[in-house]
Amino acid sequence: MSQNTPEYLQSELPAIELFQKLGYEYFDGSKEDPRSSINEVILEDRLRNSLTKINPWLKGNSLEKTIRRITNIQASTLMEANQALYELITKKDSITEKPTPDAHPEPVFIIDYDNLENNDFLVVNQMKYHGHGNNSIPDIVVYINGLPLAVIEAKSPKVPITDAINDLQYYQNNSPKLFNYNQICVGINKGKALYGTIGASFDHYSKFKADSTKEISALVDRVPTAQDILIYSLFQKSVLLDIVRNFTIFEVDQGRTIKKLPRYQQLRAVNKILDKLKNENQGGVVWHTTGSGKSISMVYLAIKLRREEAGFDNPTILVVTDRIDLDNQISSTFRRAGFPNTKQAASISHLKEELRDSYGKTLMTTIHKFQERAEERIDPKDIEVLSDKENIFVLVDEAHRTQGGMTAAYMRASLPHAKFIAFTGTPIDKESKSTLREFYGGDYIDKYTIKQSVEDGNTLAIRYQTGMPEYFIEKDLMNEVFKASFGHESEEKQAKLKSKAASLDTFLLARRRVEEISKNIITHYREKIYPNGFKAMLVCHNRAQAIAYQKAFLQLKEQGLNSFESKVIMSFNHKKDPQEYRDLATPEDKIKETIENFKLPFGNESDKSLGGKRQYDNTAILIVSDMLLTGYDAPIVQCMYIDKLLKEHNLLQAISRVNRTAPGKEYGLIVDYAGITEHLAEAIKIFSGDLEVNDVMTNIEQEKTILENRHAKMVAFFRSIKIDRMKDRDKYVDACVLYLEPEDLRDKFIDLVKFFNKSMDIVLPDPFAVAYEYDLKLFNDIKLEAVNTYTPDKLHITREESKKIQMIIDEHLRASGVEYLLDEAIDITDSKKFEEELAGKSGKTKELVIKNRIKKTIQANKKENPEFYEDIAKRLERLIKDREEERIDQAQLLLEFNKIMEDIRNAKEEWKRLGLRSPEQFPVYKSLEKVVADPKDFTIALFDKIGVYLTKEDWKEFDDIKKEIRKNIKSLLRSANIDKEQLKTLPITILDILENQ
């Protein structure tokens, strides 16, 4: 390649120079080549020298045998050869030789992972390799100990990055021998950089984002480009060897082997966990959004925990989930990734048996295994310790769902010295429940939000549309029928029946409402989702509503208005369920098969693969209530229709079913018929990562004292009853129920139980709370029995009365269609636009919407005008604090919010009032306002000085121009006699402002 092309000067050369700064040797392969033939891909002299340096005893025939073993890989496919070589360079006993004829075999190490400088790091450009067609000349090849472990293809900044990936794929087909040894493939074009593995399509190449670019900037002495960040982040010697040894897996999926490398958040999180375990001897919480690869992160973590140099003495690793299907799923992930000797615990006794010996194992279990102990009502002092070893590491999947209760407390008491590492996609962070508090407190070990995941292309944006059914109730007629049916009942009973008639259950099950929504769903699906080959899920309020929707869909099919197949997935209660549940829902023995087949595309269902597996499935809509809302990955699902009042983490988990990537799928879509807009606005705080730890964390020691006090009050409430509640439980319960006959005493006791329950919720799963488990169950049982005893039978609503009420509602609720409340579906990851759509709402929601809108405006514009938006941020935080401490009321808060928004709007015209020449000058003026005597004249003079550079349309693409701009700014600032520290930082700040405009 010519050395005067943009590709060489702006991409290839800077990459080579960075490698040299990282300590790599370099030579130009077009000018010198130590190989005897282009058929060779290994630099044999370097391999030989490295082997003898790492293994000084390796000589003569043993050395030559080792080299032949490395250079002659026997395999039928590239992936097979690559995996065989990977095992040679990473597994301790993959090659063994005898130092002397009489000695025991010793392992031969090809790479020294413990002593970096024992290895030979080399980067070569423009070296030619034999190809099936033309010869291959990749731009850069990275050699370690003579083996080509990475191939980098460089392109001009004006050429799409896809061209680099296409070339890498071509080289793999044309010169496969070169890629037998490959661990990383990289495409760069200065402004973009992606990395992947052999066999990966473009969609499976990843970006790499660094937490900080300070070190990179210092190394390259300029603003780092995307390719600088990737090369520095992946190819520092220690990082590269860490990735090769600990973060590379071969996963077998449906008979096909896929090689996987870590995404940047996985690499970052696993190493942070290891640091915390080593330095603080405790775990914590990893918040990685749903769909970002938490299961694979656990595999990477388990690999590193097992390493001898980690210092954990062959630990036991226990992976805990909350459902059998997830237990099977994560066990399968570990097995597919080749993780050795994993076992699923069948029971608590089986788990105890596996934990008994000191040999490290990897065990999979559900949290409910520990519930077997909890249900035995063991005295806290007698909880059996399953293992008191220090080196047990418990990896908890989706910890927000399981780790706040008594079962989790038993697990911790059973493993008193274990370290718990929680993985969650939707953490709970509120006073009564906090995933962080349940795992040592403090901050998250690592955080990767849905917004970051969408930006990286790992998951899709989710759009939201709300469709509210238009209906009215024939109130007078309905009241007449109600009176005729229930007029003979007491006023108290009639009030209860009316409350039932007005309940959410009754309203959501109204027949005409369900029918109108069903019509809307079928029309929407036919027009918006089906044409692109995608499927949908319908989330229902309860099982009865799921059946009602299936009946409505079948009715539309009979009328010729619905050509799509739908299936109900739900659990059964064989004692109570009516026959139509069994007639219309998927039978229990077919559920697993149905939900797996649903992931398949539309087509001829009779077609089978060569292995006899089903290829297609024509079910278009799965109807669910509670099942499949978490942990179900079906990329073919694009749309979720919701008629259930979901909130908080349950809402976030459910809607994340639609954000998985698939070819041709640009976004996931939520259509809301239940009115969850306000809940979604609240949940977006979790999505966006705006919550601060201090906003939600409570002092657990203080809460323990509150728990003790509330427990003491509850026990004292029955101090006149002289029966031992521990020894004679039944007599104690009977006496307490008699004592609670007066309604005022009963109400007071119910309040005591409520506050006691709340304290238990906060303190759990801390083993401290286990001591109160007996009384938790006892006093809640007393409350329930007392309420049932003293509620007159006539006030109980029978099943027949419930049916009659539903019939009255069905008859008199008239539905006329569905109205969409938003002009178009909006991206909920774009919280600013989402909040603008909600701005017309009032009350608490309006307060939240405006606050979040201001926050997002600050976030979006602070780089462009840092000084101004920093002041705005401070004002906002003061107002929020004043509101929380009730120094101002809501009206005053909204008034001040409006002033802030007015200031933001006015800022766009402020440059005119100040006498500046353009709006671009205003943020620079703000950065100089407190630094120079006359910021207006100084700003104008500065733009006069650098204006010649700014007129060039693509000046931001040229580092030499940016360097000149910075020098000119610095020169002008020096003449203003500003202090030395500001002279260092201000030119960089101003340049950042200019680049972000």
Q: CA torsion sign, 410 to 414 to 419 to 420?
A: negative
Q: Is the pLDDT of residue 764 over 80?
A: no
Provide φ and ψ at 983, rounded to 5°: -65, -30
Does residue 284 belong to any structural domain of this protein?
Answer: yes
Domain termination residue (choose one: 257, 276, 305): 257
Q: Is the pLDDT of residue 678 over 70?
A: no
Does one domain contain both 129 and 13?
yes
Averaged over 244-250, what is the pLDDT? 93
Q: Categorize the per-residue pLDDT at 841 as very low, low, confident or very high, splitting at 50, 70 and 90.
A: very low
What are the angstrom distances between the C-alpha of 446 and each of 221, 264, 342? 29, 12, 26
Q: Categorize the per-residue pLDDT at 380 as very low, low, confident or very high, splitting at 50, 70 and 90.
A: low
Averaged over 911-916, what is the pLDDT? 83
CB atoms within 10 A of CB 356: 10
Domain termination residue (choose one: 782, 811, 840): 811
Does residue 140 belong to any structural domain of this protein?
Answer: yes
Residue position matching structure tokens 């033939």: 37
Nearest to 464 by CA among 915, 854, 913, 822: 822
Strands 462-473 and 813-820: antiparallel
By mean pLDDT, which of 60-74, 264-278, 464-478 is the weakest? 464-478
Give 793-828 pLDDT, tens digit per residue: 555 556 665 665 556 555 545 555 555 555 566 666
Give 537-547 pLDDT, tens digit per residue: 999 988 889 99
Mean pLDDT of the chain: 82
Q: Would you state the structure tokens that stand for residue 308, as one six-digit string? A: 């001898």
Does residue 715 belong to any structural domain of this protein?
Answer: yes
Does residue 72 belong to any structural domain of this protein?
Answer: no
Averaged over 317-344, what is the pLDDT? 73
Does pTM surpass 0.75? Answer: no
Domain residue limits at 317: 262-448
Whether residue 294 contacts residue 425, with contact meaning beta carbons closer than 8 Å, is answered with: yes
Does one domain contain both 807 and 843?
no
- In this prediction, residue 483 carries a pLDDT of 62
Whether residue 258 contacts residue 251, with contact meaning beta carbons closer than 8 Å, is answered with: yes
Does residue 504 belong to any structural domain of this protein?
Answer: no
How many whole angstroms separate alpha carbon 965 and alpha carbon 587? 71
Does one domain contain both 589 and 633?
yes
Number of domains in the chain: 6
Residue position matching structure tokens 């269609």: 817
Residue position matching structure tokens 């802030």: 900
Q: Is the pLDDT of residue 946 over 90?
A: no
- In this prediction, residue 842 carries a pLDDT of 43
Q: Is the pLDDT of residue 407 over 70?
A: no
Does one domain contain both 885 and 932?
no
Does residue 64 belong to any structural domain of this protein?
Answer: no
Give 92-138 pLDDT, tens digit per residue: 888 999 888 888 999 999 999 999 999 999 999 999 999 998 999 99
Does one domain contain both 222 and 346?
no
Q: What is the CATH number of the domain that holds 231?
A: 3.90.1570.50
Nearest to 390 by CA among 320, 315, 441: 315
CB atoms within 10 A of CB 844: 12
Does one domain contain both 248 and 267?
no
- In this prediction, residue 44 carries a pLDDT of 95
Does residue 58 belong to any structural domain of this protein?
Answer: no
* Four-CA torsion 937, 939, 945, 947, nearest 10 degrees: -130
Helices (H) and strands (E) in the chain, counts: 42, 25
Q: CA torsion sign, 149 to 155 to 157 to 163?
A: negative
How many whole angstroms separate alpha carbon 945 and alpha carbon 311? 59
Q: Categorize the per-residue pLDDT at 487 as very low, low, confident or very high, splitting at 50, 70 and 90.
A: low
- In this prediction, residue 891 carries a pLDDT of 67
How many whole angstroms separate alpha carbon 832 and alpha carbon 382? 54
Q: Categorize the per-residue pLDDT at 430 as very low, low, confident or very high, splitting at 50, 70 and 90.
A: very low
Does one domain contain both 346 and 402?
yes
Does one domain contain both 438 and 341?
yes
Averaged over 580-604, what is the pLDDT? 92
Nearest to 834 by CA among 453, 307, 465, 574: 465
Q: Is the pLDDT of residue 629 over 50?
A: yes
Does residue 633 belong to any structural domain of this protein?
Answer: yes
Domain termination residue (choose one: 638, 672, 698): 698
Q: Which amino acid is at 118?
A: N
Provide φ and ψ at 417, rounded to 5°: -110, 10
Q: What is the CATH number of the domain that holds 369?
A: 3.40.50.300
Does one domain contain both 428 and 573?
no
Does one domain contain both 654 and 803?
no
- pLDDT cut 90: percent of the chain above it: 35
**Peptide linkage before 765 cis (omega within 30 of 0):** yes
Q: Which pairs from 612-618 meet CB under 8 Å and 24+ separation? A: 613/254, 618/565
294 vs 466, residue with greater confidence: 294
CB atoms within 10 A of CB 798: 8
Does one domain contain both 645 and 711?
no
892 vs 52, residue with greater confidence: 52
Averaged over 851-862, what is the pLDDT? 68
- In this prediction, residue 522 carries a pLDDT of 94
Q: Which amino acid is at 537?
A: M
Does one domain contain both 307 and 428?
yes
- In this prediction, residue 763 carries a pLDDT of 75
Provide φ and ψ at 87, rounded to 5°: -65, -35
How many whole angstroms separate alpha carbon 581 and alpha carbon 578? 6
Whether residue 367 contacts residue 322, with contact meaning beta carbons closer than 8 Å, is answered with: yes
